[in-house]
């Protein structure tokens, strides 16, 4: 077998020659495709298909002492969210395109010990963290032990600590929801989300505050907080709706809060809801409401690609974290069939 060859004898040099690129470019297409221009990557993939080249993963792993597996701890969903399931699917696709697999693991006991064992035994090469909290102690703990990891979510409350991360701009997403509701004619737009202190929820509430002030609206008494649970969210929204001058619409921190707000608003004689609500995450639950609710959708496919790219950089020897990757979500607008805003 030639140097860099596969089980059929085709070498990476032959692929490079057929595509008119360097060996390193072929290697990047196989391991870190985000580093290669799309047109060049497409040309390399055509050459790979035409020549029937298949990398010898077993030999590569032995040379590199790598498992080519990424560890991801299972996270229980909150409320109606399926965000973790969708991110897992996106991460699996992005990792596969880069020649990696995803190992899903539970950590009911000591998560730190479980994670360290997975790394030290070579079961996984690196970890992805998706449930990062303010001041999360895992981040400095992993860093001190040289455990490679990337966060989906900005590390907050870490002092001068610098870490590898990709995130979605929740403040921007909620501000877009408020802009949409104001454009629809609403002047009392409430926010329903988590109690202060959980980081990403604070960002989303800040986006609501910025938008209502930018539009010159009253933001004084239109905030409600609860646990991320439909029943709790419904009760919190009802408290706002019971005020003498209630909100006419809600921008919510998640789809769970949005479902609670919609239920709190009830329905009119025609069966359509009384309260216009915009959620966050665009989960299947919003499509089950009648009519379906508008919601902010996170670009999970792009998040996963960026996370895998950062992991590959980290495993390639990069020591200093790059500037974190911040992505913008999209507002998915759906037709509203309830009453129009009254001024």
pLDDT in tens, 155-211: 999 877 789 999 999 999 999 999 999 999 999 999 999 999 989 999 999 999 999
pLDDT over threshold 60, residue 58 = no
What pLDDT digit, counting tens, does each position of 94-148 carry? 999 999 999 999 877 788 999 999 998 899 999 999 989 999 999 999 999 989 9
pLDDT band at 64 (very low <50, low <70, confident <90, very high): low
Q: What confidence score (pLDDT) does residue 79 get?
A: 85
CB atoms within 10 A of CB 135: 13
Cis ω for the linkage preceding 291 (within 30 of 0): yes
**Angle between helix 23-31 and helix 38-51 axes, rounded to 10 deg:** 90
CB atoms within 10 A of CB 343: 6
Percent over 70 (pLDDT), the chain:
93
Q: What confidence score (pLDDT) does residue 7 get?
A: 45
Distance CA 52, CA 207 (A): 51
Residues shown for the chain: 343
**How far is residue 171 from each of residues 177, 283, 331, 342, measured CA to CA in Å?**
10, 18, 12, 27
Residue from 325, 322, 306 nearest 32 by CA: 306
Distance CA 112, CA 132 (A): 14
Cis ω for the linkage preceding 5 (within 30 of 0): no
pTM over 0.95: no
Q: Stretch 288-295: mean pLDDT, rounded?
A: 93
pLDDT over threshold 50, residue 62 = no
Q: What confidence score (pLDDT) does residue 67 get?
A: 85
pLDDT over threshold 90, residue 35 = no
Question: How far is it between the farthest Cα atoms of the chain?
Answer: 81
pLDDT over threshold 60, residue 1 = no
């Amino acid at each position: 077998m030639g140097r860099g060859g596969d089980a059929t004898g085709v070498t990476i040099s032959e692929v490079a020659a057929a595509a008119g690129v360097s060996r390193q470019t072929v290697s990047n297409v196989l391991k870190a495709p985000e580093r290669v221009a799309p047109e060049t990557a497409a040309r390399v993939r055509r050459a790979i298909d035409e020549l029937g080249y298949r990398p010898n993963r077993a030999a590569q792993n032995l040379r590199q002492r790598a498992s080519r597996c990424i560890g991801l701890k299972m996270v229980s969903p909150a409320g109606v969210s399926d965000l973790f399931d969708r991110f897992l699917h996106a991460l699996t696709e992005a990792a596969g395109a880069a020649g990696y697999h995803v190992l899903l693991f539970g950590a009911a006991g000591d998560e730190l010990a479980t994670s360290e064992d997975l790394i030290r035994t070579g079961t996984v090469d690196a970890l992805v963290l998706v449930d990062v909290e303010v001041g999360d102690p895992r981040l400095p703990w992993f860093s001190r032990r040289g455990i490679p990891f990337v966060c989906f979510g900005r590390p907050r409350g870490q002092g001068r600590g610098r870490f590898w991360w990709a995130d979605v701009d929740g403040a921007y997403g909620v501000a877009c929801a408020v802009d949409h509701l104001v454009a629809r004619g609403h002047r009392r737009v409430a926010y329903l989300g988590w109690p202060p202190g959980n980081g990403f929820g604070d960002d989303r509430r800040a986006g609501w505050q910025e938008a209502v002030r930018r539009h010159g609206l009253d933001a004084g008494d239109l905030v409600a907080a609860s646990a991320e649970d439909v029943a709790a969210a419904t009760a919190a929204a009802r408290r706002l709706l019971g005020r003498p001058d209630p909100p006419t619409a809600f921008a919510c921190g998640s789809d769970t809060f949005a479902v609670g707000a919609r239920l709190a608003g009830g329905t009119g004689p025609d069966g359509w809801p009384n309260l216009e609500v915009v959620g966050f995450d665009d989960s299947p639950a919003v499509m089950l409401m009648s009519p379906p609710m508008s919601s902010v959708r996170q670009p999970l496919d792009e998040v996963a690609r960026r996370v895998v790219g950062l992991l590959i950089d980290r495993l390639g020897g990069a020591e200093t974290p790059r500037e974190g990757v911040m992505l913008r979500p999209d507002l998915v607008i759906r037709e509203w069939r309830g009453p129009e805003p009254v001024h």
